[in-house]
Structure 1
Amino acid sequence: MLDLSSDAFERLVVDELDRLPDEMIDGLDNVVFVVEDRAEDGSLDLLGLYDGWALTERERYGVGELPDRIILYREAHLAVCDDEEELRDEVHTTLVHEIAHFYGIDDERLHELGWA
Structure 2
Amino acid sequence: MVEITDEDFETLVTAELDALPDNMVEGLDNIIFVIEDLPEDGSTDLLGLYDGLALTERGDYGYGEIPDRITLFKHNLQAHCDDLEHLRDEVRITLVHEIAHHFGIDDERLHELGWA
TM-score, normalised to structure 2's length? 0.95
Q: Which moved more, 1:76-85 or 1:61-70?
A: 61-70
Aligned to 1:97: 97
Residue 64 (1) aligns with residue 64 (2): yes
Q: Tell me the percent identity.
A: 66
How far the C-alpha of 1:59 sits from its partner, in A, is: 2.7
Structure 1: which amino acid aligns with 2:44?
L
- Secondary structure, aligned partner of 1:2: coil
Structure 1 segments unaligned to the other structure (5+ residues): none
How far the C-alpha of 1:13 sits from its partner, in A, is: 0.1
| Alignment partners' CA distance in 1, 2:7 and 2:18 | 17
Structure 2 segments unaligned to the other structure (5+ residues): none
RMSD: 1.2
Q: Deviations over 1:25-69 (max 9, x none)?
A: 121111000000001111211000000010001138654211000
How far the C-alpha of 1:74 sits from its partner, in A, is: 0.1
Aligned length: 116
TM-score, normalised to structure 1's length? 0.95
Residue 28 (1) aligns with residue 65 (2): no
| Alignment partners' CA distance in 2, 1:73 and 1:62 | 29
